[in-house]
């Protein structure tokens, strides 16, 4: 029975999974973030090694018994750095280079999200990740550096509040809701926002409040969400041009978009299919960590369509 190791390393969390060729998840664990910038740091390497070693220990499998390892890591961004990063991580994890595939974490998110040979993914969590696929093994990142300034619902919502305050409006329901959640005054908000001194835990509640206002047809929430939907559709349209087909699957992922209400998803689907009527819209089928393991299986010549079916059926 072949075994495949998958790791998804982000800025705040690292997830690891060990699966076999029957689609069984043998072990799954979570650790702190392991993202890198240029040369992998000792702390990131230690997290990755802990994930790999713990998965092996949990299942009684030696690292040398793993048939292939797939690793998606935040920070795998530049062609002139990848070979260096690949060699360092491969050596540290004691995984032979011919059994190891290293990519950006956006790629393994796509591997997990869809079994479609033609697919695109837009993820909005702490940051943005976009990727598209022309076929298995032919995945590419799309604006992975974030230079296109994708519409960040959380940041744009706070900027929108600032505009209302700047206009001298003090009886706006949308603004009052956000300020009350944050526990700050009209006067203090712009300064605290500029100095990045707003309570981070309270900020987490703002997005859900905006979604609730959107469901209640609040005019300001409609404006913000409407702009977000339009921008995300533009991103997906750009990726569809790269795969040169309308018969593709589109996935919205990441915490910000997964928590969006049905009204958001319905409006997004309606607008996107008005422009691209043949596109299939779905939620992510599997996690990025499992996607990393599936990617590993692909490079070990596993039948990917069958493996997807086995994993979904088994788990």
- Pair (126, 179) in one structural domain: yes
- Pair (160, 278) in one structural domain: yes
The Cβ of residue 1 has, within 10 Å, a number of other Cβ atoms equal to 8
- Pair (207, 273) in one structural domain: yes
199-249 pLDDT, tens digit each? 988 988 999 999 999 999 999 999 999 999 999 999 999 999 999 887 899
∠ CA(260), CA(261), CA(264), 5° rounding? 80
The Cβ of residue 242 has, within 10 Å, a number of other Cβ atoms equal to 12
- Pair (143, 158) in one structural domain: yes
In degrees rounded to 5, what are phi and psi of residue 225?
-65, -40
| Number of domains within the chain | 2
- Pair (132, 197) in one structural domain: yes
Find out whether 243 and 274 touch, Cβ atoms under 8 Å: no
* Kind and range of the H or E run holding 5: strand 3-9
156-177 pLDDT, tens digit each? 999 999 999 998 877 899 999 9
- Pair (211, 268) in one structural domain: yes
- Pair (219, 307) in one structural domain: no
pLDDT of res. 92: 96
- The span from the CA of 11 to the CA of 34, in Å, is 6
Find out whether 137 and 126 touch, Cβ atoms under 8 Å: no
- The span from the CA of 107 to the CA of 103, in Å, is 6
39-57 pLDDT, tens digit each? 999 999 999 999 999 999 9
What tokens appear for 262 in the block?
A: 């049905």
Helices (H), 100-188: 105-113, 153-166, 173-182
- The span from the CA of 124 to the CA of 182, in Å, is 22
- Pair (195, 60) in one structural domain: no
- The span from the CA of 126 to the CA of 15, in Å, is 16
The conformation of residue 244, written as its DSSP 8-state character, comes to T
Q: Predicted confidence band at 149 (pLDDT cuts at 50, 70, 90)?
A: confident
- Pair (49, 140) in one structural domain: no
Contacts of 102 by beta carbon, 8 Å cutoff, 6+ apart? 71, 73, 76, 82, 85, 86, 89, 90
Output the DSSP codes for 9-29.
Answer: E-SSEEEEEEEETT--EEEEE
Indicate the Cα dihedral angle 97, 99, 102, 108, nearest 10°.
180
DSSP bridge partners of 229: none
Find out whether 121 and 140 touch, Cβ atoms under 8 Å: no
Whether residue 138 is predicted with pLDDT greater than 90 in this model: the reply is yes
- Pair (231, 265) in one structural domain: yes
Among 9-13, 106-110, 240-244, name the most confident range. 106-110
- Pair (268, 154) in one structural domain: yes
Tell me the residue range of the domain where 69 lies. 3-115+286-314
- Pair (62, 157) in one structural domain: no
* Percentage of residues in the chain having pLDDT higher than 70: 100
301-314 pLDDT, tens digit each? 999 999 999 999 88
CATH number of the domain enclosing 35: 3.30.420.40
């Amino acid at each position: 029975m072949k075994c495949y190791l998958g790791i998804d390393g982000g800025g705040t969390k690292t997830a690891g999974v060990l699966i076999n060729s029957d689609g069984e998840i043998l072990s799954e664990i979570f650790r702190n973030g392991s993202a890198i910038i240029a040369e992998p740091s000792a702390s990131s390497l230690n997290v990755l090694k802990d994930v790999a070693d713990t998965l092996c220990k949990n299942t009684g499998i030696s690292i040398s018994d793993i048939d292939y390892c797939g690793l998606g890591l935040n920070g795998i961004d530049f062609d002139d750095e990848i070979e260096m990063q690949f060699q360092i991580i491969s050596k540290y994890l004691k995984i032979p280079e011919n059994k190891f595939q290293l990519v950006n974490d956006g790629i393994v998110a796509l591997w997990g999200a869809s079994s479609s040979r033609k697919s695109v993914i837009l993820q909005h969590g702490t940051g943005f990740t976009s990727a598209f696929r022309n076929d298995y093994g032919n995945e590419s990142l799309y604006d992975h550096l974030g230079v296109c300034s994708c519409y960040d619902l959380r940041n744009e919502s706070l900027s929108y509040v600032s505009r209302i305050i700047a206009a001298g409006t003090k009886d706006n329901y949308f603004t009052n809701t956000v300020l009350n959640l944050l526990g700050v005054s009209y006067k203090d908000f712009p300064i605290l926002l500029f100095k990045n001194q707003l309570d981070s835990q309270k900020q987490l509640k703002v997005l859900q409040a905006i979604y609730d206002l959107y469901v209640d047809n609040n005019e300001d929430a409609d404006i913000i969400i409407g702009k977000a939907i339009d921008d995300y559709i533009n991103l997906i349209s750009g990726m569809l041009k790269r795969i040169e087909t309308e018969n593709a699957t589109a996935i919205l992922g990441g915490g910000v978009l997964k928590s969006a209400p049905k009204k958001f998803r319905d409006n997004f689907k309606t607008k996107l299919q008005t422009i691209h009527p043949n596109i299939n819209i779905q939620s992510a089928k599997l996690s990025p960590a499992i996607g990393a393991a599936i990617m590993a299986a692909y490079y070990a010549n596993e039948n990917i369509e069958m493996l997807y079916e086995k994993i979904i059926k088994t788990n």
